[in-house]
Structure 1
Amino acid sequence: MLMLDDNEDLLNEMNTFFKDLFYIDVSNSVTHALQMIKKKPYNIIISNIMSIEMDGMFFINAAINIRPKAFIIIITDVTSKELTAKGVKKDLFEFLEKPLHPEDLLFAIHKACKELLVEQKKNRHNIMSDLKNVHDSFLNIVNSQTDGIMVIDSNGIIIYANPAVETLFRAKQSAFIGQLFGFPLGNHNKDRTEIGIFRSNGEKGTAEIITTNIFWHGKKSQLITFRDITDRKKAQKQVQR
């Protein structure tokens, strides 16, 4: 929290009152206060609308440009309150009329904390929604692939299989989930290996697998891509004869 005012006695009074309740910096210089805002991510900025260095609205709007998510508490008099409100291009702000009392400021800070918490929850919800959309888009891409794809957790357990796995192994996707992969995987990203595969109908085949290190639901995992090269291997053997 940062408080700007040209009254040093008021700054000292507020600093003494709040220092055991909140982390607070104080300044009587607009230039210095703007420098501090650039360096520290203040959530709450308190400013006297009247400034000895420059117009108070300049400072407030400059502070908003630097910290657009901060809650602004404006100290003003009744006559300039309406004019000030028109100049603040921000939703999260509060007015305090002079003379300023610590109890009034404490109430305003409490309100600011509640509104900031609501805003943070809203942002967190939006982030989670965006992450879900990204994950859903990823699954749509993976599910549309003609190559078989599995995700293996750090214990070697299969935790995901795409529809193409059914074609490759002639078995349902659900049959693989929770099973041990059963083939040693290297720790190197983009490893390419040929393995023998056994289909549920007893047929044997060959697949080329590529291992990619990923995070799946926040946990380290490996994505395995299977490409059926059975026909290619048979053709190679025919040529070699």
Structure 2
Amino acid sequence: MKRDGIILVMALMGMMITGVAQADLVINEYSHANDGAVYGNGNFSAQDLIVGAATGGNYAGIAFFELPDLSSYYIQSAQLTLTVVSGGSMPTANADLYVLGYVSSPPSLVSSWLLTSDTETRDGDTLGTGIGSDTPLKLVDNLVTAGTTMNPGNTSQTNAAQSITLAQYLTSLYNDYGAVAGDYVVIRVNPDFDEWQGSNTNSSKNFRYGGSHRGADAALLTLTLVPEPTTFAMVLLAAPMLVRRRHG
């Protein structure tokens, strides 16, 4: 009878090893085609992500990334890469990176998402981004500092710690706010100061990250998904008990 118990445990351990061997999954996802820029009175959809002052006012860049199916995975890391396609600088404003929450498919730009101050005080209910009475996450303060010249080909990228924070926030969208696979996380890059100052003489005080139409230079989110721990691990812990019980 002891031999039968050992065979049973070995079979279950084999199942456990098979489950653990499931590989990590890396997803490179470019922003949805409806990305672009928002300003005070409207938006430019399917365009570059304008950050700073351009014709008519201040602009913020918006990117949308589809949330994946997490039925058997969890998000370990989420690295954002933005590539400059039109150079320039903002003399007095820093560029801040926010995660506003999520929207359902198909995503669309909302002009009121524009921000030209250092702190976002509006909540998800006001912005319509699915996070209720909570305010958006400022993922990176001063992603680009005032006066920095951004040249075509330059990139802005989240570091390791920021990528983990973003992964945790994306997970919270599922667990705490009801997001499901196929919804879209909303990313914003905005000036933290009024660079336009009411005059088109300041309309060149901006730079632009690549939108979805820019191919390899489009906004990119790289997700590293790791298989969820399997319940077979519990079998391994219980194995000695199974053997002893069969032996008795």
TM interval, shorter chain, is under 0.3
Larger radius of gyration: 1
Identify the structure with the greater helix proportion. Answer: 1
Identify the structure with the greater strand proportion. Answer: 2
TM-score normalised by structure 2 residue count: 0.24
